[in-house]
Amino acid sequence: MLFVGLFLPEALFSQDTVRRTTLDEISITEQGAPATLRTQAPTQVATIEKIEQSGAIQLSDVVRQMAGVTLKDYGGVGGMKTVSARGLGSQFSTLTIDGVAVNDAQNGQIDLGRYSLGNTAYVSLSQGQPDNLLQSARTYAAGSVLNMETQVPHFFLAERTNFKVGLDAGSFALWSPSVLWEQKLSDKISLSLWVNHLRTDGDYPFVLYYTGNRDDSSSHERRTNSQMHSTTADANLFYSISSRQTLTAKVHMMSGFHALPGPVQHYAEKGSEFTRETLAFAQVRWRGVANNWQWQVIGKYQYNYDFYEDTAFANVSHYLSNQYRQHESYLSGAAVWNPVEKLSFSLSTDAALNSFSSDITSNYNRVTRGSLQAVAAAQFKTKRIVANANVLATVTHEVATKYEVEGSERPADYRRLSPYAGITVQPFANIPLRARYFFKETYRVPNFSEMYFFAFVKNLRPERAEQHNLGLTWNHYVERGEESSTQIAVTADAYLNTITDKLVAQPAQNMFLWQMYNMGKVRVTGLDFKADAMWQWLRAALTLSVTYTYQRAVNRTDPDNERTYNNQIPYTPRHSGGMQIYFEMPWVNVGYTAMFVGERYCKEQNAPEYRMPPYADQGISVDRLFDVKLGTLRLKAQVLNLFDVQYEVVRSYPMMGRNYRFGAVFEF
Amino acid sequence: MKRTLYILMIVSTFVAFTSCKPEEEPEPDPIRNSLYWKIDGTTCDATPILADCGIANPYSINVFDNHIYITTDGGYSSNGDVFCFNMSGTRQWKAEAGMLPSKVEPYENAGTGNMAYVLNEGMWGNNDASLSKVNRAQGNISNKVFSNANHRSLGDVAQDIVAYGSKAYVAVTFSNSVEVINTGNDLSTRIDVSSSAKNPRRIAAHGGKIYVTCYDPCSVVRIDTATLTVEAVCRLGGYHPEGIAVAGGKLVVASSHISDEHSNYTYDDKVYIVDIASFEVQNTITVGTNPVVVKALDANKVVVGYVGDYGQKPAGTAIVDVTDGSVRQLDKALYNFDIYEGSIYGYESIY
C-alpha cells in the first residue's frame, strides 16, 4: 500500500489514491507535496513511504538518491554530509523545515547527517525556487531548496492517540530507537512529539592504499575515533483555527557528540578531536485564506552551540577547545493577492538578526548581522500555462568586534536586486507533456567564517550565481481493469549555471595568513534525467526509479592557467546516476538500490594524481508488514554496499564497506 | 492584526527595495607582487634581481651551482612549477612538479649526473607530498619518484629535504616520518619519530648526524646517520621550532609561535642556541617576532627571517652572529631566502 511516494503528479495521485486509500496517503495530498511534473523548478520528492522503503535514517540518505546533487560525504554515520546542487556549492542550498529555513550564518552550510527522519511526511528538493507564491523571502533567495515537511497527525475514527515505535540497528553498534506520539486534543488541536536517539561506534574497517595504484602497498585498517551519538526531540502543535486558517508551532532540539576521525594521514594516527553540538529552535507559522487574499507569518528563534576540542593538540598543554555560539531571530511575512482569475501578486518580507560569538579572541569574535530581504512576485496561471516573475531585494548590515579592542569593524553593506522569471507550458491539452524554463539570479552574502576566519577583508563581494533551466516532463497512466495499471513519469532538464566572484581562500603572500578572494568563475552545463515507473497487479507491484546526471562544471577563472582552466571543479563527477527497484509481493517486499558516481578530481587540476576512481554502491533489502494485535509491525533487513566496494567521496576519508541494518516499526 | 501585518510588510519591502542600488564597481583584487633581492652578506647592500621573471607567486627560492631556482604554488589546487634562472636572471627552463614544490635540493651521486630533488610539500590531509627529480642542465623532470620506487606514499605534508652524503633526508610532518632516501636508487627507509617527538619540520645535517625540529613537544631530535635511530632529544620549551642551521659549532633554531588552549596565538621573537656537544639549550638570542627561516651565512653567522604577527609587529630579516650574539637587522623583510657564496637571495613578503 505504500507506493504513492514515488510519483507525485497529482493526476496520477488521485487516481491512485482512489484504489489504495489510506489515511496516510490522504494526509500527504493535504500536506501538498509539490507536483513534480508541473513545477518550474525541477523538483524531486521522497515521501515517508519511499524513505521507509529505502531504510534511510539520516536526511543525507535520502538526498544522495536524488538527481543533480553532489553529496560531499566524510564517511560513516557521523561524518559530515553536505549537499551542493548543480555545481553551485553547498552554501547556495537552503534547508527548510516546514518551509522555514534552518540557517547557519557561521558556515553557510548544513550537515545533513545531523537531521534524522521519522516524523517527516516528505523531503523535497527544488533546483530553483518553489512555484508557490506564499513563501518566505529566504526561500526565494536560495539557489536550491531542500525541504523537510513534518507529518501532520491523522486519527482513525474515534482514536485520539497514535504511537509509532521504531528501532533501527546496524553494523558497528548502530542503534537508533525512536518514538512518535500523536495526540488529538480536540477537533481543532493535535500534538505530536517525536524523540530519536542515534549512536554508533563507527569503527568500520577499510583498506588503505598508499598510492594511486592499488597494486602498490596497502594495509587493512579500522576507522578510529569515529563514534557519535545524538538525541533529537521534535514537538509540534497543529491548530486549525478555522477552515481557512491554520497555526503550526514546532520546538526542535538536537544535542549531539561526534568524535572526528579526521583524514587518514599515512603512517600516523591522531584521533583526538571531538565536537559537541546543540541546535535548538522554536518556530511558529500562521497561514490563512480570506476572499482573494492568502497570508503567512513565520516567527523563529534559533540557537546553535558548537564546542570543539582536541585533546592532543600540539601546544604546551596538549589541549585546544573552541566554542561557537549563534543566535538567530527571524520574522517573515508573505501575502498573496489574487485580484482577478489567473493573476496573483505577492510580497514576502523577511527580517533576521544573527549574532555569532566565539572564544577565539585573536579574531573578530563577536559579529552581529541584520538582514532584510523582500520579494515582489507575480504569477499568471491557467490550466496549461504558469508564468512567474519576481525580484528580490537583499540588504545586510553588520558589525564585528574584537576582544579587548576598542571600536568595531564593518564590512561593506550588501544591497542587491536579483531577478527571477519562469514559465511552464503544456502545449497540447490532451498530451501530458510540459515544457519549463526559468532564469534565476542568486546572491550569496559571505558567511561569518569566510568574512572573519581568514584575514578580514572589508570589500569582499558576495558570490553570484545565474541559473538557466530548460526541461520537459511527461507522464503516462494506463489502467487495465481493477487489477492492473502502469504509471510512467519522465523528466529531463538541461541547465546552464554560471558563478562569478566565487570565494576562494588563498594565502595572502605567506602561508600562515590566508584570506578570501572573489576570484573564481565556474560554468556548469548539465542534464538531469529522471524516470519513475510503476506496474501494479492484483497483489503485487513493481516500482522502478532511474536517475542520471551529467555535469560539466568547469573552472573559468583564468584563461592563461592551462592547468586549471576548463578543468572540472573538484569533487564533481561528469556522470552519476542511480537506480532503485522495489518489488512488493504478498509475503515479502524486496528492494534494490544502486548508485553510480563517475571519476572526479580532488583538485582544480584534473591531473591523474588527483583523480578519484568511479564507484558503484549497491544495496538490497527485504521487508514485510505484519498485522498484529493492536496495530502493524514492519520488519526490515538491509545489506548496504553489498559488494564491499572500497571508495572515498572526499580524499582521505574512506567510506564504509559492506554493512547491515535491521529495522522494526510498530504502529498502534 | 492583518492590516498591521500588511503595513509592516509594505514598509519593509519599500525599505529593502529603495536601499538597493547597483553593485559598485569592484575594486581590483590586490595583486600579489614579489620583489626579489640579492643582499651582500658583508656589506648588507641590496640589489634587485629577477626583475622580469614574471613570477608573482613564488613558493621557494634555492640557489646553488650558479643558478637560481624558484618554485611556484600552483594556486594551491594544481601542481606548481620549478623555474631555473642563471645568475643574470635569464630563464633556463621551467618544469611542472607536484603539489606545492617547496625545495630544490641538489645531490651528488656517482652515475646520476647533475640532478636535484624537488620536494613537493602537499596539502594537509591529502597525503600528496611527493618527490620529483630534475636534471639541472635541461630541466627534464620525473615526478612521483618516491612512490614509483617505494610503492608507497611519502605521506602527509613533507616540510624539508636535505641531501647529506649518499642519502637525502625528508621530514614528513603529519606522518611523523623522517624518510632516508638512497640517492642512487630512490629507495627509502622510514624512521618513525613519533615516540620522541611528533610533527617533524626542518632538518640540518652536521658531523654524521641529522637534526630535526619537531612541534610536539617543541624539540630537536638527533638521528645518527649510520644507525638511523633517534639518539637524543633536546627539549626547547614553549614555541613551535621551525628553521634550523649550524654555525659556530652550535645549532640555531627558530622559535616561531604557538596556540593557546583557545586558538589564540602567542609569538616568540628568539632563536635558540643549542650546543652540539652537550645537545642542550645554551642561550637564546632575540631577533624579531615570529622567526621561521634560519640559514647559515658563514662559519659563525646565520640569517634569520621572521614574519611578524601579521598585525602590529613587522616582519624582517636579520644576520645573527652566534659567537657574540650580535644581531644586525637588514632593511628588507625577506619572506623566504637562500644563501649562496656569502650573499642572501630572497623575496619579500609584502604584508
Q: How close does chain B come to A182, measured CA to CA in Å?
A: 31
Sequence letter at residue A233: A
B31-38 mean pLDDT: 70
CB contact residues (below 8 A), chain A span 543-562, against chain B = 561
Query: Residue A201: helix, strand or coil by DSSP?
Result: coil
pLDDT bracket for residue B32 (50, 70, 90) = very low
Decide if B350 touches A, using CB distance below 8 A: yes
CA contacts within 13 A on the Cβ side of B203: 26
Decide if A217 touches B, using CB distance below 8 A: yes
Which residues in A457-512 belong to E strands, given as ranges? Answer: 463-480, 484-510
B chain contacts of residue A284, beta-carbon cutoff 8 Å:
none
Cα angle A130, A133, A139 (rounded to 5 degrees) comes to 50
pLDDT bracket for residue A12 (50, 70, 90) = very low
Distance of CA A603 to the CA centre of its chain: 25
B chain contacts of residue A508, beta-carbon cutoff 8 Å:
30, 32, 351
Query: For chain B, what is the largest distance between any 2 Cα atoms, rounded to a whole number of angstroms?
Result: 91
Query: Does some domain include residue B325?
Result: no
Starting at the earlier edge strand, list the strands of the sheet with B141-142. Answer: B101-107, B115-120, B130-135, B141-142
Cα angle B93, B99, B100 (rounded to 5 degrees) comes to 75
Picking from B9, B176, B290 by the largest number of A CB atoms within 10 A of its own CB, the best residue to mutate is B9
- In this complex, the residue of A215, A267, A603 whose CB is nearest that of residue B155 is A267
Could you give the CA distance from residue A548 to residue A595 in angstroms, rounded to a whole number?
10
- In this structure, are residues A428 and A435 in contact, taking their beta carbons and an 8 Å threshold? no
Decide if A26 touches B, using CB distance below 8 A: no
Of A238, A231, A278, A234, residue with least CA distance to A252: A234
In percent, how much of chain A has pLDDT > 90?
A: 65
- The pLDDT of residue A6 is above 90: no
Query: Does some domain include residue B179?
Result: yes
pLDDT bracket for residue B21 (50, 70, 90) = low
Query: Does some domain include residue B172?
Result: yes
B54-79 mean pLDDT: 92
Query: Does some domain include residue B259?
Result: no
A252-277 mean pLDDT: 92
Per-residue confidence (pLDDT) for residue A399, from 0 to 100: 86
| In the block, residue with C-alpha cell 654524521 | B208
Please, what are the domains in chain A? 4-667 (2.40.170.20)
B315-343 mean pLDDT: 94
Per-residue confidence (pLDDT) for residue A19, from 0 to 100: 31
Q: How close does chain B come to A387, measured CA to CA in Å?
A: 23
Q: What is the CATH number of the domain that holds B148?
A: 2.120.10.30
Burial A6-35 (b: 16+ CB within 10 A, else e): bbbbbebbeebeeeeeeebbeebeeeebbb
- The pLDDT of residue B126 is above 80: yes
- The pLDDT of residue B319 is above 50: yes
- In this structure, are residues A554 and A568 in contact, taking their beta carbons and an 8 Å threshold? yes
Decide if A590 touches B, using CB distance below 8 A: no
* B26–A461 C-beta distance less than 8 A: yes
Of B266, B319, B329, B328, residue with least CA distance to B294: B319
In percent, how much of chain B has pLDDT > 70?
A: 93
Q: Which long-range contacts (CB under 8 A, 24 or more apart) does A644-650 make?
A: A645/A615, A645/A616, A645/A617, A646/A206, A646/A207, A647/A613, A647/A615, A647/A617, A648/A75, A648/A612, A649/A71, A649/A72, A649/A73, A649/A74, A649/A75, A649/A571, A649/A597, A650/A72, A650/A73, A650/A74, A650/A75, A650/A571, A650/A602
Domain carrying residue B163: 57-192
- pTM recorded for the entire structure: 0.91
Per-residue confidence (pLDDT) for residue A31, from 0 to 100: 54
A chain contacts of residue B21, beta-carbon cutoff 8 Å:
415
Decide if A224 touches B, using CB distance below 8 A: no
What DSSP character marks residue B26?
A: P
A54-75 mean pLDDT: 90
Quick: pLDDT tens for B246-272.
999 999 999 998 888 888 888 999 999
- The pLDDT of residue A163 is above 90: yes
C-alpha cell at position B189: 627507509
What is the rounded average pLDDT for all residues in chain A?
Answer: 88
- The pLDDT of residue B36 is above 60: yes
Q: How close does chain A come to B16, measured CA to CA in Å?
A: 6
Quick: pLDDT tens for A141-158.
999 999 999 999 988 888
Picking from B27, B102, B141, B153 by the largest number of A CB atoms within 10 A of its own CB, the best residue to mutate is B153
Could you give the CA distance from residue B293 to residue B338 in angstroms, rounded to a whole number?
9
Per-residue confidence (pLDDT) for residue A25, from 0 to 100: 29
> Which are the contacts of A128, defined by CB distance < 8 A and separation ≥ 6?
A40, A41, A42, A143, A144, A422, A438, A440, A467, A469
A223-227, A395-399, B133-137, range with the lowest pLDDT: A395-399
Could you give the CA distance from residue A491 to residue B343 in angstroms, rounded to a whole number?
69
Could you give the CA distance from residue B211 to residue B228 in angstroms, rounded to a whole number?
12
Picking from B261, B265, B267, B310 by the largest number of A CB atoms within 10 A of its own CB, the best residue to mutate is B261
Of A491, A469, A350, residue with least CA distance to A88: A469
Chains A–B, number of C-beta pairs less than 8 Å apart: 197
Query: Does some domain include residue B211?
Result: no
Quick: pLDDT tens for A580-638.
999 999 889 999 999 999 999 999 999 999 999 999 999 999 999 999 888 899 999 99
First CA to last CA across chain B, in angstroms? Answer: 57
pLDDT bracket for residue A23 (50, 70, 90) = very low
Q: Which helix (H) or strand (E) holds A422?
A: strand A414-425
Could you give the CA distance from residue A117 to residue A120 in angstroms, rounded to a whole number?
6
pLDDT bracket for residue B162 (50, 70, 90) = very high
User: Best-predicted range by mean pLDDT among A9-13, A24-28, B227-231?
Assistant: B227-231
A21-35, A119-133, A220-234, A640-654, range with the lowest pLDDT: A21-35
Decide if B19 touches A, using CB distance below 8 A: yes
Per the model's pLDDT, the better-predicted residue between A125 and A410 turns out to be A125
In percent, how much of chain A has pLDDT > 70?
A: 93
- The pLDDT of residue B243 is above 90: yes
Could you give the CA distance from residue A474 to residue A542 in angstroms, rounded to a whole number?
20
A chain contacts of residue B255, beta-carbon cutoff 8 Å:
none
Per-residue confidence (pLDDT) for residue A118, from 0 to 100: 83
Query: Residue B12: helix, strand or coil by DSSP?
Result: helix
Query: Does some domain include residue B115?
Result: yes
Strand partners for A489: A475, A532
Output Rg (C-alpha) for chain B, integer angstroms: 23
Q: How many domains does chain B have?
A: 1
- In this structure, are residues B230 and B193 in contact, taking their beta carbons and an 8 Å threshold? yes
Query: CA nearest A557 in B: which residue?
Result: B75
The burial of B154, by beta-carbon neighbours within 10 Å (0-12 exposed, 13-18 middle, 19 or more buried), is given as buried
* A602–B147 C-beta distance less than 8 A: no
Query: Residue A207: helix, strand or coil by DSSP?
Result: strand
Per-residue confidence (pLDDT) for residue B111, from 0 to 100: 62
Residue A264 phi/psi, 5-degree rounding, is: -75, 115
Per-residue confidence (pLDDT) for residue A521, from 0 to 100: 92
- The pLDDT of residue A512 is above 80: no
A415-426 mean pLDDT: 93
- In this complex, the residue of A265, A334, A561 whose CB is nearest that of residue B175 is A265
A451-465, A513-527, A626-640, range with the lowest pLDDT: A451-465
Decide if A498 touches B, using CB distance below 8 A: no
Of A462, A422, A372, residue with least CA distance to A126: A422
CB contact residues (below 8 A), chain A span 79-138, against chain B = none
- In this complex, the residue of B13, B128, B259 whose CB is nearest that of residue A349 is B13
User: What are the residue ranges of helices labelled H in A446-554?
Assistant: 448
Per-residue confidence (pLDDT) for residue B4, from 0 to 100: 80
- In this structure, are residues B74 and B53 in contact, taking their beta carbons and an 8 Å threshold? no
pLDDT bracket for residue A8 (50, 70, 90) = very low
Reported ipTM = 0.91
Could you give the CA distance from residue B236 to residue B218 in angstroms, rounded to a whole number?
6
Quick: pLDDT tens for A267-287.
998 789 999 999 999 999 999
B chain contacts of residue A290, beta-carbon cutoff 8 Å:
2
Per-residue confidence (pLDDT) for residue A4, from 0 to 100: 32
Cis amide bond preceding B217, omega within 30: yes
Of B311, B322, B317, residue with least CA distance to B345: B317
B chain contacts of residue A570, beta-carbon cutoff 8 Å:
77
Query: Does some domain include residue B164?
Result: yes
Q: How close does chain A come to B230, measured CA to CA in Å?
A: 18
Query: Does some domain include residue B97?
Result: yes
Picking from B27, B61, B76, B77 by the largest number of A CB atoms within 10 A of its own CB, the best residue to mutate is B77
Please report the DSSP string for B238-271 in residue order.
SS-EEEEEEETTEEEEEE-EEE-TTS-EEE--EE
B78-102 mean pLDDT: 95
- In this complex, the residue of A268, A417, A517 whose CB is nearest that of residue B29 is A517
Burial B323-338 (b: 16+ CB within 10 A, else e): eeeeeeebebbbbbbb
Query: CA nearest A287 in B: which residue?
Result: B2
- The pLDDT of residue A371 is above 90: yes
Decide if B328 touches A, using CB distance below 8 A: no
